[in-house]
Chain A
Amino acid sequence: MTKNLRVKSSEFIDETSRISFKFDGKTYYGFKGDTLASALLANNVHLIGRSFKYHRPRGIMTSGSEEPNAIVQINPNSNITEPNARATEIEIYEGLEASSQNCWPSVNFDIGGINNFLAPFLPAGFYYKTFMWPKSFWEKYEFFIRHSAGLGKSPTTKDPDIYDHRNIHCDVLVVGAGISGILAAKNAAKNNYKTLLLDEKNELGGSTIFETNENKKINNTFSSDWLKKEISELKNIKNLEIKTRTCVAAYHQYNYLLARENLTDHLEKKDKKNKIRQRLLKIRAKKVILATGALERPLVFNNNDRPGIMLSSAVKKYSDFYGVACGVKNIFFTNNDTAYESALSLHNKGIKVDAIIDIRENSDAKIIKKINDAGIKIYWSHTIVDTSGYKRLSDVSIMKLSNDGMSVTGSKTSISCDCLGIAGGWTPAVHLYTQSGNKLTFDEDRNVFVPKADNSAQICVGSCGGDFELDEIIKNLSNKLKNFLNISQTDFEDISLENDKETSKRNIWLLPSDKPTGKTKPFVDYQNDATAKDIKLALREGFRSIEHVKRYTTTGMGTDQGKLGNMHALGIIADTAGVKMGELGTTTFRPPYTPLTFGTIVGRNVGEFFDTFRRTPMNDWHIKNKAEFENVGQWKRAWYYPINDETMHQAVQRESKAARKSAGILDASTLGKIDIQGSDASEFLNRVYTNAWSKLAIGKCRYGLMLNEDGMVFDDGVTTRLGENHYIMTTTTGGAANVLSKLEDYLQTEWPELDVYLTSVTDHFATASLCGPNSKKILNKIIPELDLSDENFPHMSFKEVTIDKIKCRIMRISFTGEQSYEINAPASFGEAIWEKCIEAGKEFDITPYGTETMHLLRAEKGFIIVGQDTDGTMTPIDLQMDWIVSKKKYDFIGKRSLYRSDTMKENRKQLVGLLTEDPKIVLEEGAQIVSELNQKPVEMLGHVTSSYFSPNLNKSIALAVVRDGKNMRGKKLFIPMENKNISVTVSSTIFFDEENKRINA
């Protein structure tokens, strides 16, 4: 039954370049300039897919991005297939393959279609009510629902395409290149505003570009011809950038908009190669002009969803723009004059129009006479009460409307047709306007929501602003532009206009049928299969808020966000509940206006560019020496260095033993380093650390603990006094940025009188930490001239030295309890110094160790790790670190909070050591701790924070926070695990070398 319905050549279609494409496996032909929808319609294909819930056959309804039905899968047989593409937006190219969605096994025979007959049992909220109970059955239901419903297939392999982002700053952004947008952009650019004009279509001119209505003339020519001349002048205007195939997806505050520019989707495969597919434009505009037009509304009547039922404006566009007849027997159904324009347009192109059914009693528009002259029968005061034809519309039944519009009277007439254009009026496309945070107001007279008010940074013009008649549009546009752009005149304010005026109005949100509502299917949201019946049911069940009704019935929740049906949903709610539409308010339109691909959103931030990471200067050496890495914040840190097939446990045990037996070396470059200078540096440190700093001698180091103002431990580290007014502070690896921010905050806002300067120097120095009983000998080999005696270079002191002419700072500080030297070299010499240490350490079997061994060694000594043994609820007292809290200092950050009733109470969780009864059992970090096994409910006393098997003690050790732990030394507690209860004894937090003898050994 394939017919050629290309009825007239069109200037927008290149009939010299024939394109073949496949739909549902069958090959068709179209022309360059066709969309998939227009090309299919030219082949008389209307049936595109199945609806989501009832699996009803659905066809093409619209000619644009508002399409609810004709959504297809592109490249269905490829592993880079793309679902949910709108046939009305896809420009065909040689080799395009697409297929129906929502049908299984095929669009012509669909198992889920049985839902259509089960429809009485599938009312609103059906999924909520049925499948949620019993809970355990959900998995079974889910399989069935997903298999039969399905919203297309996801691609299965990595997206091979390239995506991009671009930032744009402009004076004026014009969204939409219909007649209003073009005139606005032209006048803005001509008046020296840097202007950007965007349109989602590939052609400029909106619906005016193919307008040949005798009754809509500008300067005595067709409005289309006049506009084409305007467009041809655009290229000579400086300051104007135009982007087509670019859809604005989101409009955020402060005129920040996101748009998707489609660059290659319309090209055939060989031309797409190595090109950017889509680009996300991040636009910051000083002024925004929304010229997004209006969307035609359908009419809500019984069985208004059959393939062949389309918007009247779409029928017109297919005929006027694409030269395609949507049917051979066309009729229209309307409540306004739009359908008459469409009908006349078809008639003038030789496409047969049999009838127009109008719910109004009459209209005195000039166009009526032309319709009568054309011999098209008009049925005034009539409505369609039913339609028939399963996979394609075949007939409509009409009846006379009662005076109140609530019922039908008289006898039924049947009209045979294969295409029905419906015209329910126009809705301004205010989606972007509302996204920007501005409010709408309801125009009771015309039944439309229009923008409430313009402001100095944003206006809505044309039909988006609520002007539908050409003369109104042009006049208001000119006045608005003069005001908005602060210009004295526009270049089009003197044009002469001629247009028909619509005078007669009648609106019925839900048209009656001769059947009771319960027996009809008047669809409101086509994509989600929500009917007027569902909305009424929701109201009967007590839903009142529009947002709730929307979610319960899923109206407006599809990929099209209910662009067509939202107004009817509101109207039906208002009518049923007896409230005014203006009082009901609208639902929120959320970004994106049309769906964005993930590729566009992430742009180039994929693979290794997904997230930033930092590597230390010794990184290459770690890789060469087979280190495993762990992520610490953004850093990639050497975790452990397995030899041959060592497991992590084996490697860590070996490294830990070696560091205490002879010598180990750790890359500590990631520790945060902040250079502090100024005459008040000492006073500053006094205020930020809990302990006293004024008396620290030059050349000495001190460990410090930093609190939040609430008294909880925030960070720790060693700070060294390099000079009278010069310190270098170290922070934890993960806390570096936060510490700097916090210190800057206090300096700028609380203590601006202090003379202190902070500089982050983390990246400037590489740090090699030499540790172990032989570390002194190794260092001696590297710097023989330096006196390393405990008298000259004691623990907690610092020397500035030169190694191979490289100036280095050496701190004798220890995080392992062993003698230890941290050599800080300028970052670019980090690897050289590291290799020098390894070379010098060879004879002592120096062992490189990673973060895991570092953690184990410090746990043996009971040194805390902020963020592991603390969690923002631990005070220094809780950590049993009372010694570091100065009693003498009048104030420091967090001091007052240590005397709050809550922080002073006895039974807070405190840091303790735990030893397992069986020394081989290693506890799990995070495991809960209890004192009674049989108590119910069981009281959780705390949890394990750090746990290791210590090779140096040959037993398991752990740190934990336990309620009242301070008073529990020696007490037996339990760790209940899945299969066993582990007995532990509370111990000191220091497990190894309690007297600290090794530090000076």
Chain B
Amino acid sequence: MFLINCPYCGERDQQEFKAGGEAHIERPKQPTELSDDQWAEYLFMRKNIKGVQFERWNHAHGCRKWFNMARDTSNDEIKAIYKMGEKPPPQ
């Protein structure tokens, strides 16, 4: 059970949060101009790496804000938490 440091509320139990998949995948601004392959890349392709992964999390049973997390999937260590729109921290 993680202890997650919501950037708006502080440390809370994982139960209050919802994971939202890989972070930093921006919705294309002009979807109609994309080929099927390009659209599929946005729609379906996600990383599943052993190591540090960037993820979206939502404080669903709290402030309901979305934020980003860098998590090492091999040991669940949370390396960094940062707000939406902010750049991921350098590795």
Chain A interface residues toward B at CB < 8 A: 252-256, 284, 437, 709-710, 741, 744-745, 748-750, 752, 890-891, 895-897, 899-901
* Complex contacts, A899 vs chain B, CB 8 Å: 32
Q: How far apart sit A255 and B76, CA to CA, in the bound complex (Å)?
A: 13
Interface residue B7 (Cβ < 8 Å from any Cβ of A)? no
* Complex contacts, A255 vs chain B, CB 8 Å: 3
B15 to nearest A CB, angstroms? 10
Interface residue B45 (Cβ < 8 Å from any Cβ of A)? no
Interface residue B52 (Cβ < 8 Å from any Cβ of A)? no
Interface residue B39 (Cβ < 8 Å from any Cβ of A)? yes
The 9 A-B residue pairs with the shortest CB-CB distance in the complex, in nearest-first order = A896-B31, A254-B3, A256-B1, A748-B66, A750-B27, A252-B1, A896-B39, A253-B76, A749-B66
* Complex contacts, B53 vs chain A, CB 8 Å: none
Q: How far apart sit A749 and B40, CA to CA, in the bound complex (Å)?
A: 20
A503 to nearest B CB, angstroms? 39
Taking each of A748, A750, A901, which has the highest tally of chain B beta carbons within 10 Å of its own beta carbon?
A: A748
Q: How far apart sit A901 and B40, CA to CA, in the bound complex (Å)?
A: 11
* Complex contacts, A897 vs chain B, CB 8 Å: 39, 43
Q: How far apart sit A254 and B1, CA to CA, in the bound complex (Å)?
A: 7
Main secondary structure of the interface of A (DSSP, over half): mixed
B68 to nearest A CB, angstroms? 10
Contact across chains for A745 and B2 when beta carbons are under 8 A apart: no
* Complex contacts, A284 vs chain B, CB 8 Å: 3, 13
Contact across chains for A748 and B31 when beta carbons are under 8 A apart: no
Contact across chains for A749 and B84 when beta carbons are under 8 A apart: yes
A887 to nearest B CB, angstroms? 12
Q: Could you tell me which residues of chain B, from 31 to 64, have a CB within 8 Å of some CB in chain A?
A: 31-32, 34, 36, 39-40, 43, 56, 58, 60, 64
* Complex contacts, B58 vs chain A, CB 8 Å: 741, 745
Interface residue B91 (Cβ < 8 Å from any Cβ of A)? no
Contact across chains for A710 and B43 when beta carbons are under 8 A apart: yes
Which B residue sits closest to A709, measured CB to CB? B43
The total of Cβ contacts below 8 Å across the A-B interface reads 54
B22 to nearest A CB, angstroms? 12
Contact across chains for A256 and B31 when beta carbons are under 8 A apart: no
Contact across chains for A741 and B43 when beta carbons are under 8 A apart: no
Contact across chains for A745 and B76 when beta carbons are under 8 A apart: no
* Complex contacts, A900 vs chain B, CB 8 Å: 36, 39-40
Q: How far apart sit A891 and B32, CA to CA, in the bound complex (Å)?
A: 8
Contact across chains for B60 and A437 when beta carbons are under 8 A apart: no
Contact across chains for A748 and B2 when beta carbons are under 8 A apart: no
Say whether, besides A253-B2, A752-B84, A744 and B64 are in contact (CB < 8 Å).
yes
- The one of A252, A748, A890 that contacts B84, using a Cβ cutoff of 8 Å: A748
Say whether, besides A750-B27, A896-B31, A745 and B66 are in contact (CB < 8 Å).
yes
Contact across chains for B1 and A253 when beta carbons are under 8 A apart: yes
Interface residue B10 (Cβ < 8 Å from any Cβ of A)? no
Which B residue sits closest to A257, measured CB to CB? B1
Interface residue B85 (Cβ < 8 Å from any Cβ of A)? yes
- Chain B 1-20 interface 0/1 with A at a Cβ cutoff of 8 Å (1 = within): 11100000000010000101
Q: Could you tell me which residues of chain B, from 68 to 91, have a CB within 8 Å of some CB in chain A?
A: 75-76, 84-85
* Complex contacts, B65 vs chain A, CB 8 Å: 748
User: What would be 20 A-B contacts, judged by CB atoms less than 8 Å apart?
Assistant: A252-B1, A253-B1, A253-B2, A254-B1, A254-B2, A254-B3, A284-B3, A709-B43, A710-B43, A745-B66, A748-B66, A749-B84, A750-B27, A890-B32, A896-B32, A897-B39, A897-B43, A899-B32, A900-B39, A901-B36
Q: How far apart sit A900 and B37, CA to CA, in the bound complex (Å)?
A: 9
B35 to nearest A CB, angstroms? 10
Q: How far apart sit A749 and B64, CA to CA, in the bound complex (Å)?
A: 12
B29 to nearest A CB, angstroms? 9
Which B residue sits closest to A253, measured CB to CB? B76
A709 to nearest B CB, angstroms? 6
Q: A254-B1, A901-B36 are in contact. List 5 more A-B contacts (CB 8 A).
A: A253-B2, A745-B20, A749-B84, A896-B39, A897-B39
* Complex contacts, B60 vs chain A, CB 8 Å: 741
* Complex contacts, A890 vs chain B, CB 8 Å: 32
Taking each of A253, A256, A710, A750, which has the highest tally of chain B beta carbons within 10 Å of its own beta carbon?
A: A253
